[in-house]
């Protein structure tokens, strides 16, 4: 499954970084998005959504809702199966846009979902 981590981080204490490692452990293919980074460890990082080249199944969101707002139209163009808004990234705007586009929107923790087998 190809997963886009929106708000990827190279800081080991960040939940997006922990999720990156757990997703890799579970065999998922990752697309990491951060506006300035080029790599996180051995993983390449894209800086804009228009750099996404392949179909994304899941977008797991780790950015503040106010930073997310301008990205919503581009995120919808990706046509993922679902969005997972991790704690602190919950967005009523994304939830509404996803529902209107027929895309599943969850407010959940990617790490908990992986550890519980519900990802």
Domain boundaries, given as residue ranges, for the chain: 2-115
Go through 25-59 and write b for each residue having 16 or more CB atoms within 10 A of its CB, e for each that does not.
eeebebbbbbeebeebeebebbeebeebeeebebb
Domain 2-115 adopts which CATH fold? Rossmann fold (3.40.50)
Report pLDDT digits (tens) over 60-111. 999 999 999 999 999 999 999 999 999 999 999 999 999 999 999 999 999 9
- Say if CB 56 and CB 78 are below 8 A apart: yes
pLDDT band at 6 (very low <50, low <70, confident <90, very high): very high
Pick from 40, 78, 87: nearest CA to 59: 78
Longest alpha-carbon distance in the chain: 37
pLDDT band at 51 (very low <50, low <70, confident <90, very high): very high
pTM: 0.96
């Amino acid at each position: 499954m190809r997963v886009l981590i929106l708000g990827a981080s190279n800081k080991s204490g960040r939940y997006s970084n922990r999720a990156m490692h757990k997703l890799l452990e579970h065999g998922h293919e990752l697309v990491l998005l951060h506006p300035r980074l080029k790599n996180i460890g051995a993983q390449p990082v894209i800086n804009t959504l228009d750099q996404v080249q392949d179909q994304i199944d899941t977008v797991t969101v780790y950015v503040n809702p106010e930073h997310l707002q301008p990205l919503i139209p581009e995120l919808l163009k990706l046509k993922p199966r679902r969005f997972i808004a991790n704690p602190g990234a919950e967005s009523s705007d994304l939830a509404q846009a996803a529902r209107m586009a027929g895309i599943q929107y969850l407010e959940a923790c990617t790490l908990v979902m992986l550890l519980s087998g519900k990802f």
